[in-house]
Amino acid sequence: MMRGKEFPGIVLVGFMGSGKSSVGRELARRFDARFVDLDERIEQAAGCPIRDLFAREGEPAFREREKNALREVLSVKGCVVATGGGAFADEGNRVLLRSYAPVVYLETGVEALLDRLAGDVERPLLRGGERESVVRELLSRRVPGYREADFTVRTDGRTVQEVAGQVAGWIERTEGGTG
Ligand code: S3P
């Protein structure tokens, strides 16, 4: 795998519930690379869950923490990085992430997202308000940013293995060379 060139790393972007963390873990396993979950880094640095950060400090402070975590994470080359659903919505973050590694958008339709997010109590942005309209509204604001990714994989009705397989195939075709 990846003969002829080094594994460049991968950045996964997409909405909450699109499978970034699970697909990221699987890709890291396949490429024998380090997996980094940006949200986990933020929680480790803060010493508390993201939902508490939102409650305590509000969203703008969370976005600052997200930017700081991003800069730290991107200082190590060649990782598989799962971002939080809002990270790639910021233009500065997009520039940083795109210069780090190929960016893959895990695209998921609104119905599948609503199914996967049903019953979620961890994600602060889904609290309050009618969930379907919150998801539709956020999604429509973010999709133009997500579309700036280098490659898009549809995830509806697909397993983690299938999605990871498609991403891995694309990386090998575009980055792998022939050895
Ligand atoms: C957010 C998504 C979450 C987390 C935070 C904000 C968002 O990550 O970063 O709750 O703005 O969409 P996941 O996409 O991993 O759920």
Q: Write the pLDDT tens digit of every residue in 64-97.
A: 999 999 999 999 999 999 999 999 999 999 999 9
Instruction: Tell me the pLDDT of the chain averaged across its residues.
Output: 94
What Rg, from alpha-carbon coordinates, does the chain have? 16
pLDDT, residue 178, reads 44
pTM score over 0.85:
yes
Burial class (CB in 10 A: 0-12, 13-18, 19+), 50: buried
Query: C-alpha angle 62/104/163, rounded to 5°?
Result: 110
Residues with CB under 6 Å of ligand 1 are: 16, 20, 39, 50, 84-86, 123-125
Q: Is the model's pLDDT at 59 over the cut of 50? A: yes
Structure tokens at 101: 């590694």
pLDDT, residue 11, reads 98
C-alpha 66 – ligand 1 centre gap (Å): 10
C-alpha 16 – ligand 1 centre gap (Å): 6
In this structure, which residue's CA is closest to atom 8 in ligand 1? 84
d(CA 53, CA 37): 17
The β-bridge partners of 103 are: 11
CB 67 within 8 A of CB 88: no
Tell which residue, 11, 18, 8, 9, has the closest CA to residue 109: 18
